[in-house]
Amino acid sequence: MTQEELRQKGLSEEQIDYVMGAWEDAAGEEALERAMAGYRFSSQAARESVTRRVREAHLPLEEGRLRGLEELMESIRQEDPDAFWTDEPPVRFTVPMGPEMAPTREQIIKIPDRARRRAAIAENMRLFKGED
């Protein structure tokens, strides 16, 4: 509906401004949801955080799209790359282990966390072979 159509229906300029603003807000939300569906986030919290930042930027709506969204999203991606899902496997940092750095049987037995202790025993079963 255009402003002229609203005038013909007898609405005041103040009412027309209110209706048009409400329409733009609603259309902006639909456009925002469509745009966010095009990105893959690492978590729901990341999605909500990025969506909030886009809302706070008050990007103008043009032809059903948020103008400047791509630039803003790239800026956010540069600032917080972990917020976005990637198909690359995560980088894992490990301590190099050689025979001289392997844990001893006594060190493994003293591990307080039962699950970690059992995992260490499984990884170092050679230390426990032949023991009852």
* Three-point CA angle 83, 84, 89, nearest 5°: 110
What's the CA gap between 77 and 75, in Å, rounded?
A: 5
Confidence tier at 17 by pLDDT (50, 70, 90): confident
- Number of Cβ within 10 Å of residue 106's Cβ equals 8
57 pLDDT exceeds 80?
A: yes
- The pTM for the full model equals 0.53
DSSP string computed for 60-82: PEETTEETTHHHHHHHHHHH-GG
The pLDDT, as a whole number, for residue 132 is 47
What's the CA gap between 110 and 117, in Å, rounded?
A: 8
Percentage of residues of the chain with pLDDT beyond 90: 18
The pLDDT, as a whole number, for residue 72 is 93
Burial class (CB in 10 A: 0-12, 13-18, 19+), 35: middle
Domain boundaries, the chain: 3-83, 98-132
